[in-house]
Amino acid sequence: MGFYFAQLLTGLANASSLFLIASGLSIIFGVTRIVNFAHGSFYMVGAYIAYTLVSLWSGSIFGFWVSVLLAAMVVGMIGLVIELTILRRIYHAPELFQLVATFGVVLIFQDATLAIWGAEDLLGPRAPGLNSAVRIMGEPIPEYDLALIAIGPVVLLAIWLLFHKTRWGVLVRAATQDREMVGALGVNQAWLFSAAFVLGSFLAGLGGALQIPREAVSLQMDLSIIGEAFVVVVIGGMGSVSGAFVAAVLISVLNAFAILIFPQISIVLPFVIMAIVLIFRPHGLFGKPGSEKGAPEEPDQPLALMDQKSAMVLMAALLVLAISPVFTADFTTVLMVDVMVATLFAVSLHFMMGVGGMVSFGHAAYFGVGAYGAAMAVKFLGFGMIPAMIFGPVCAVLAALFFGWFCVRLSGVYLAMLTLAAAQILWGVTFQWQEFTGGDDGILGVWPAKWASADKVYFYIAFVFCIGGIWALRRAAFSPFGYILRGIRDSQTRAEAIGIDTRFHQWMGFVLAGGFAGLAGVVFAFSKGSVFPDTLGIALSIDGLIMVLLGGIHALAGPILGAGAFVLIEDWVTRLDYWRFIFGAIILIVVLLAPDGIAGGIQRLLRGLKGGRA
Amino acid sequence: MTNVLEVRNLSKSFGGVQAVKDVHFDLKEGEFLALIGPNGAGKTTCFNMLNGYLKPNAGSVSLRGQALIGHPPRKIWRMGVGRTFQITATFLSMTVVENVQMALISHHRRVYDLFSRATRLYVDEAMALLELVSMQDQAGRACSELAYGDLKRLELAIALAHEPALLLMDEPTAGMAPSERLALMALTAEIVAKGGVSVVFTEHDMDVVFAHAHRILVLNRGELIAEGTGSEIRTNPLVQEVYLGGGSVFEAESAHA
């Protein structure tokens, strides 16, 4: 009995840390509608700064708590600087575009932290005055855990008072419910956004700083927490702080007990819980419909077929690509295969996001299922290359049929989060199911057939599959199916009123996008000769998002430009020291120069040139 | 003349509020019928039951003998009911003619076609529909650039794409300038006069109602309190009592007429 009680207390202590970071994320989303990937970075930086400060004041109780608060305030200020210099300039960019910027910030912070504090994990001192354990029902409980258990509700109460008893808090709640209305009432939105961002960053920094006595400070802290923090925010309901608290307790306590029964479950449990909650409550436990939507967007321009000049340029580019293996070195040929794979992946994601209006944070799931499907077909079923390359996308289609059925019941950020949950669950299964998937070691020996094993021959196989896939998706975008899908995105009411089964149509769109992502995965698997769980991972899903958003979500050419730029720049910078910093900086520059993406930027440039000539 | 629509004992309550109670009416072929009543009278609730967005607690609706109740909106559309919205709903990222083409594509059951070019399908039919509402000159414009009155006319063209037997128009002239209102309803009346479609519409503007409706139904607190032609409704003391609280507008209008 005592043991279980101790487990419960551990769960509650974890819940407090999780709540701090998630509440900040929820406030930022609620007010600004920014999906802030940099929130994990704020948490990490908070921990590092607190580590330095606590080490300076070692041993004093007062010093410890002052350090923690100071670290949180510094992070709050960092948040302010980021809001003022970057985010403020791109609030009017298409929805979710800000996410790209925050991802750039993540990369920059990773290398900045590395440069300042070094690569080694840092073990902070115990909290003075709370450094021993007390026995409760016979079990030793760290005193610091008890302090954390108290801090969670105290912070919740403080936020509640702030939101209900101050004018500012009322405005924040109003903005969470209806941002336009608050603007119409003459509230200075810029100031409100900055303040919300500072408060959110402060809470993330506080969460990080409070972790010092509990765990080593490391460079992995940012991405290890962000997934779970999103889950908590979504389960609680976007923008609901008390929802975040309930969700944090729910997840942490369930996790504390679940690992006793089935230790492997901890990496997927939060996502499973999120999936279940979203299926029954599409806006989270305390969320309201409408709290998911951002500012109304400018409608897209009608689609137009390429004019003759662009078509000629495209044909010329394709021709150059097709004959490139003849005059380039092998490593360039391999790089071109990577570009084609990434482009097909990005185009398939764009079909879902841009054409279908369904944002996915977990599109890599279908890429990975395709890759694993092919690899396992080779390994267990003895398939040859071509049959395996057909088998992979079929697996991806089946996975998309299953997960898509749930996802299309939701919309907006909630839909995105459910796709993320689906991807994480698939990733967890792949990672844990050692005997079947090879776990972390992956599946090796997925080589092309003998006749196709030369890099230059495989290039042409990849060319046929990828360019064929991209062409097919483009064709689909112009087909009645694609047009109706766009129509549903524009107005579900109208689509329903002209006899469309909107949910089924979106489901099929999801499946089509998943199938082509699977095709990209298959080409990828045979080009690398192996598959690993990271082909289904969050990182790849985010890469896909960056490609689509950076390229320009409103143009069919966007994902092609985005993927090309992404892979080529990444290939170039990863050879440099501190490449993350450089890559992040490049992303930020593109974001600030072209808030409508690369495609939009080029269009404006061309128009400018024409105007100049005239 | 045969009945296109037969509504029998239609009732709907929300919690304790009886929004619509025992509504009962017929719509004849080629009829242009107005459903009027003060705010909260139950007009929109009635409409939403006819087009499948709400399920009534009791009653039946039949369109040319087919029962409508229990089918989802898209099924009801397929059975031959078109509709326009109080707040226009169109596909803003498409051109005017593409909007009409979408309705035609759906009508011809081509929505899962992955290989044709959507913009090349049913162009002539779409242009004919646009001509019907005098929008053919704006066919290539982006729908997001249209003036509000033009959006309403576009909606009318979309709603007629599948040659419906019944057209439901929920406050078709809301948000329009007075001159535009009469023009839109005159256009609708013309289309009705050509035959093939019968219309039920709700409306607040009495000028529009009296100018065009063949017959008027008056709802109050969920119940039908009167029905008849314009002049019958004008002089109906019960309507004057509940609809305008005994005001004198109707009498003034009668005097004009």
Residues A156, A162, A165: CA angle, nearest 5 degrees: 125
Instruction: Indicate the SS3 state at residue B225.
Output: strand
Maximum alpha-carbon separation in chain B? 63
Report the pLDDT value the prediction gives residue A154, as an integer from 0 to 100: 94
Say if residue A271's pLDDT is above 90.
Answer: no
Confidence of residue B255 (pLDDT cuts 50, 70, 90): very low
**Which helix (H) or strand (E) segment is A75 a member of?**
helix A61-85
Q: For chain A, positions 272-301, list CB contacts with chain B under 8 A.
A: 298-301
Partner-chain contact A497 B106, CB within 8 Å: no
Q: For chain A, positions 39-68, list CB contacts with chain B under 8 A.
A: none
Partner-chain contact B105 A483, CB within 8 Å: yes
Partner-chain contact A299 B161, CB within 8 Å: no
Which residue, chain included where needed, has tokens 């499946």?
A511
SS3 content of chain B, % helix, strand, coil (to 5): 40, 25, 35
Decide if B158 contacts B100 (C-beta within 8 A). Answer: yes
> Domain residues for B232?
1-80+167-257
Partner-chain contact A487 B102, CB within 8 Å: yes
Domain borders along chain A are 2-280, 339-613
Higher pLDDT, A292 or B116: B116
Residue A249 has which token pair?
């307790």
Instruction: Among A299, A493, A500, select the one facing B93 at the smallest CB separation.
Output: A299
Number of domains in chain B: 2
* Cβ contacts of B78 on chain A, cutoff 8 Å: 499
- Answer yes or no: do B4 and B45 share one domain: yes
**Residues A504-515: tens digit of each pLDDT:** 999 999 999 999
- For residue A387, count other CB atoms closer than 10 A to its CB: 14
Q: How far is A293 from chain B (nearest CA, A)?
A: 18
- Answer yes or no: do B137 and B153 share one domain: yes
> Is any Cβ of chain A less than 8 angstroms from the Cβ of B117?
yes
- For residue A366, count other CB atoms closer than 10 A to its CB: 40
Over range A83-112, report the average pLDDT.
88
**Residues B1-20: tens digit of each pLDDT:** 688 899 999 999 988 888 89
Q: Name, in order, each residue with C-beta under 8 angstroms of B52's C-beta and a sequence gap of 6 or more.
A: B68, B71, B72, B73, B75, B76
Q: Is residue B159 part of a domain?
A: yes
- Answer yes or no: do B97 and B74 share one domain: no
> From CA A212, how far away is CA A204, in angstroms rounded?
13
* Cβ contacts of A355 on chain B, cutoff 8 Å: none
Q: How far is B117 from chain A (nearest CA, A)?
A: 5
Query: What CATH code is carried by the domain that includes residue B182?
Result: 3.40.50.300
Over range A381-401, report the average pLDDT.
94
Residue A172 has which token pair?
């924040």
Partner-chain contact B114 A479, CB within 8 Å: yes
Over range B219-230, report the average pLDDT.
87
Q: Name, in order, each residue with C-beta under 8 angstroms of B214's C-beta and a sequence gap of 6 or more.
A: B31, B32, B33, B229
> From CA A56, how far away is CA A70, in angstroms rounded?
13
**Residues B51-70: tens digit of each pLDDT:** 888 899 999 999 988 898 88
Is-same-fold flag (A2-280; A339-613)? Answer: yes
Partner-chain contact A496 B110, CB within 8 Å: no
Portion of chain B with pLDDT greater than 70, in percent? 94
Decide if A490 contacts B94 (C-beta within 8 A). Answer: yes
Over range B21-26, report the average pLDDT.
90
Report the pLDDT value the prediction gives residue B220, as an integer from 0 to 100: 87
- Answer yes or no: do B189 and B217 share one domain: yes
Residue A169 has which token pair?
């808090």
**Residues A169-184: tens digit of each pLDDT:** 888 888 877 777 887 8
Q: Name, in order, each residue with C-beta under 8 angstroms of A62's C-beta and a sequence gap of 6 or more.
A: none
Say if residue A247's pLDDT is above 90.
Answer: yes
Partner-chain contact B102 A479, CB within 8 Å: no
Note the ipTM here: 0.89
Partner-chain contact A483 B98, CB within 8 Å: yes
**Residues B128-156: tens digit of each pLDDT:** 999 999 999 999 999 989 988 899 999 99
DSSP annotation string for A9-58: HHHHHHHHHHHHHHHHHHHHHHHH----TTHHHHHHHHHHHHHHHHHHTT
- Answer yes or no: do B180 and B76 share one domain: yes
> Is any Cβ of chain A less than 8 angstroms from the Cβ of B120?
no
> Is any Cβ of chain A less than 8 angstroms from the Cβ of B74?
yes
Report the pLDDT value the prediction gives residue A612, as an integer from 0 to 100: 63
**For residue A352, is it left (φ>0), alpha (ψ between -120 and 50) or beta?**
alpha
* Averaged pLDDT of chain B: 87
Which residue, chain included where needed, has tokens 């997001």?
B144
Q: What is the sign, positive or negative, of the torsion defined by CA atoms of A107, A108, A110, A114?
A: positive
Over range A29-42, report the average pLDDT.
89
Nearest CA in chain A to B164: A498
> From CA A35, how far away is CA A416, in angstroms rounded?
11
CA A8, distance to chain mean position in Å, is: 30
Decide if B169 contacts B184 (C-beta within 8 A). Answer: no
Residue B81 has which token pair?
């009911």
* Averaged pLDDT of chain A: 89
> From CA A293, how far away is CA A120, in angstroms rounded?
41
Q: Is residue B118 part of a domain?
A: yes
Residue A385 has which token pair?
């290359």
Partner-chain contact A499 B78, CB within 8 Å: yes
Q: For chain B, positions 44-63, list CB contacts with chain A under 8 A.
A: 51
Q: For chain B, positions 78-97, list CB contacts with chain A under 8 A.
A: 78, 83, 85, 89-95
> Is any Cβ of chain A less than 8 angstroms from the Cβ of B112?
yes
φ and ψ of B215, to 5 deg:
-150, 150
B106, B141, B156, best to mutate vs chain A, most A CBs in 10 Å: B106
CATH number 1.10.10 is the correct assignment for the domain at A2-280: no
Portion of chain A with pLDDT greater than 90, in percent? 50
Residue A132 has which token pair?
């021993």
Q: How far is B93 from chain A (nearest CA, A)?
A: 5
Predicted TM-score of the model (pTM): 0.89
Distances (CA, A) of B129 to A106, A128, A247, B100, B161: 54, 80, 54, 8, 7
Class of domain A339-613: mainly alpha
Residue B40 has which token pair?
């909260």
Report the pLDDT value the prediction gives residue A522, as an integer from 0 to 100: 96
Say if residue A457's pLDDT is above 50.
Answer: yes
Partner-chain contact B77 A483, CB within 8 Å: no
**Residues A125-170: tens digit of each pLDDT:** 887 777 777 888 778 888 888 999 999 999 999 999 999 999 988 8
- Answer yes or no: do B69 and B173 share one domain: yes
Confidence of residue B124 (pLDDT cuts 50, 70, 90): very high
Report the pLDDT value the prediction gives residue A614, as an integer from 0 to 100: 46
- Answer yes or no: do B173 and B75 share one domain: yes
> From CA A167, how far away is CA A182, in angstroms rounded?
13
φ and ψ of A132, to 5 deg:
-120, -175
> Is any Cβ of chain A less than 8 angstroms from the Cβ of B103?
yes
Report the pLDDT value the prediction gives residue A174, as an integer from 0 to 100: 85
A479, A488, A498, best to mutate vs chain B, most B CBs in 10 Å: A498
Q: Name, in order, each residue with C-beta under 8 angstroms of B147's C-beta and a sequence gap of 6 or more.
A: none
Nearest CA in chain A to B100: A498
> From CA A323, how far away is CA A316, in angstroms rounded?
11
Helix axes A189-209, A167-177, angle to 10 degrees: 100
Q: For chain B, positions 130-159, list CB contacts with chain A under 8 A.
A: 142-144, 158-159
Decide if A477 contacts A468 (C-beta within 8 A). Answer: no
Report the pLDDT value the prediction gives residue B245, as an integer from 0 to 100: 62
Q: How far is B73 from chain A (nearest CA, A)?
A: 7
Decide if A211 contacts A40 (C-beta within 8 A). Answer: no
Report the pLDDT value the prediction gives residue A291, as an integer from 0 to 100: 47
> Is any Cβ of chain A less than 8 angstroms from the Cβ of B27?
no
- Answer yes or no: do B52 and B100 share one domain: no
Over range A235-245, report the average pLDDT.
90
- Answer yes or no: do B176 and B212 share one domain: yes
Partner-chain contact B111 A484, CB within 8 Å: yes
- Final residue belonging to a domain, choices B128, B145, B163: B163
Indicate the residue type of A563. Answer: A
Partner-chain contact B73 A480, CB within 8 Å: no
In the beta sheet, which residues pair with residue B198? Answer: B166
> From CA A166, how far away is CA B229, in angstroms rounded?
59
Decide if B50 contacts B169 (C-beta within 8 A). Answer: no
Q: How far is B235 from chain A (nearest CA, A)?
A: 38
**Residues B144-200: tens digit of each pLDDT:** 899 888 999 999 999 999 999 999 998 888 888 888 888 888 899 998 888 889 999
Kindly report the three-state secondary structure assignment for every residue of B99-152.
HHHHHHHHHCCCCCCCCCCHHHCCHHHHHHHHHHCCCHHHCCCEHHHCCHHHHH
Q: Is residue B86 part of a domain?
A: no
Q: Is residue B85 part of a domain?
A: no
Portion of chain B with pLDDT greater than 90, in percent? 44
Report the pLDDT value the prediction gives residue A297, as an integer from 0 to 100: 61
Instruction: Indicate the SS3 state at residue A398.
Output: helix
- Final residue belonging to a domain, choices B163, B194, B225: B163
> From CA A591, how far away is CA A601, in angstroms rounded?
10
Report the pLDDT value the prediction gives residue A40, as an integer from 0 to 100: 94
> From CA A144, how far away is CA A10, in angstroms rounded?
11
Partner-chain contact B77 A476, CB within 8 Å: no
- Final residue belonging to a domain, choices B163, B190, B221: B163
Residue A140 has which token pair?
């030793």
